[in-house]
A and B are shown apart, each in its own frame.
Chain A
Amino acid sequence: MNIDDLIPNMGAWLGGQGPHANVVISSRIRLARNVAQQPFLSTASPSQRQDIYDSLSNEVNRLFPINTALFIDVDNASSLDRQLLVERHLISHHHAVSEGSRGVSVSHDESAALMINEEDHLRVQVLSDGLQLEQLWTKINDIDDKLSERIAFAFDEQLGYLTVCPTNVGTGIRVSVMMHLPALKWTKEIERVERATRDMRLAVRGQYGEGTDVVGDLYQISNQTTLGSSEEEIVDVFSNKIIPHIVEYEYAARETLIKHSLAQFEDKVWRAYGLLSNARCISTQETQTLLSPLRMAIQMDRFDVINIQTLNDIFLHTQSAHLQKQAGTTMNGSERAVARANYIRQKLSS
């Protein structure tokens, strides 16, 4: 398997299934780990960095051999391949653009990705569609146990797992849930959600994580504190309290919208469909913005011209690197806008 073989697939996080799939697009858990007795990457020399890379890639490849996973030497990968991995949520933007020996092991079904030499020596992440954090925790805990049998991770009796940045110290866990909240956005209730989540020391970001804007009403909600609660407690609060509460809130806002502004809502949906099926040039941002009302209408059984799989296909495959990889050539912004519009029209008419 090579990186191009990933392209036709949807990836584990965009299957469109799983609990609360009408509102929760995907769930993700990552653990930050560092090898004991080694400097953090912030001070490691190139040769120390290489040593860490060699020993960790060896261990990761033992756990995820070539018949189950794809190992990518990110430092030597093309910028297009690196961008493709970011678009598929398999590596962070930081991992794509930083320098020095680094890599990622991606399970064939894209449900696990282990980044070597990201900010910390190792960042293990598992992904799924819908709200499935408890299953993800079982899975990532098992991966971490297996790695711990052979690697001594930097750990302190009082402070737990030691990380480059003290904001990740303790469990080193980050739980993230990507939610589609169009009705809360349109009714402006989202501001209350954002305030409440901030009060609970949670971060609300765009779909590509830190530093990204919210596009297409997709919000990524994640924990910010990693010390003082167990991994199970953090997962439990997300799975059984915070996220179901926001889901209910979104459903209530959708009902209000349908009850009081049905004509305006339908107008928004059909205009979006009209634009997407006729545009000759279109940006990623406009595409994702227009897909939002369609996604909501499909999920509410109020639009059946396309199904959620087709919508997710368009969502994933119209991103810049995906378009260029599919075309087999690099394209400038204007060329991509044309290719994107062509791809959408073809998907909507088939």
Chain B
Amino acid sequence: MDVECEHCKKAKATVHITDVPEKRERHLCEACAQTEGIIIKQTQQTTTAILQEFIKQKTGIETSDELTCPHCKITFREFRAKGQLGCPHDYEVFREALIPLIQRAHGSATHHIGKVPATADEVVRRQAGTLKLRRELDQALQDENYELAATVRDQLKDMDVSESS
């Protein structure tokens, strides 16, 4: 049975207490109970909420869940449920949230080093070529193959020259 708040006479009473000395029953709404200092307003977040906020800040996953690709209309949440993206544009739309997942799947790698299709424009081809040479240089230095390292360094210099000319 619904009981009216005995203080404001408007809201439904949800706080029911018994004053011990007088053995008097009181029925108050939440707002009036707070005013009378009977219950303390919840200003602190629960542990779960704090954790969720932390995960959100760290991964952006919660905020990304509602992101929708304007082309194929799938949401990031749907991708996470199925493990399959809907169209090539999703990599752009969901990029920020996808990169940590991609890193996890590919041993922390975040950049493609390898073949570039003939249809890619010259800038992309050049960038891919530079990345590959830098890796070859690192490997040559690691292997202490200084002759190869010098050759690769020259190739990188040549690329810089032709890029700026």
Chains A and B form a bound pair: yes
Could you tell me which A residues sit within 8 Å of B by CB distance?
34, 36-40, 42-43, 119, 141, 144-145, 148-149, 152-162, 164-167, 169-171, 173, 201, 224-233
Given contact pairs A158-B111, A231-B114, enumerate 20 new A-B contacts (beta carbons under 8 Å). A42-B74, A42-B85, A43-B72, A43-B74, A145-B118, A148-B117, A155-B124, A156-B112, A158-B112, A160-B114, A164-B84, A165-B83, A165-B84, A165-B85, A167-B106, A169-B102, A170-B106, A225-B105, A228-B107, A228-B113
Residues of B within 8 A of A40 (CB): 72, 84-88
CB within 8 Å for A229 and B114 given contacts A40-B84, A43-B74, A166-B85: yes
A171 pairs with B91, CB closer than 8 A: no
A225 pairs with B118, CB closer than 8 A: no
Question: Across the two chains, which residue of chain A brings its CB closest to B112?
Answer: A160
Which of B72, B82, B87 has most A Cβ within 10 Å?
B87
Q: How many residues of B contact A (CB 8 A)?
A: 36
B112 pairs with A171, CB closer than 8 A: yes
Minimum C-beta distance from B99 to chain A (A): 9
CB within 8 Å for A230 and B132 given contacts A141-B115, A148-B118, A153-B117: yes
Q: How far is the CA of A100 from the CA of B101 in the complex (A)?
A: 30
Residues of A within 8 A of B117 (CB): 148, 152-153, 155, 161
Question: Across the two chains, which residue of chain A brings its CB closest to B121?
Answer: A157
A36 pairs with B82, CB closer than 8 A: no
Q: Can you list 12 A-B contacts (CB < 8 A)?
A: A37-B88, A148-B119, A152-B117, A155-B120, A160-B114, A161-B115, A166-B98, A167-B106, A171-B112, A201-B107, A225-B109, A228-B106
Minimum C-beta distance from B64 to chain A (A): 14
A227 pairs with B119, CB closer than 8 A: no
Q: Is B145 an interface residue (CB 8 A)?
A: no
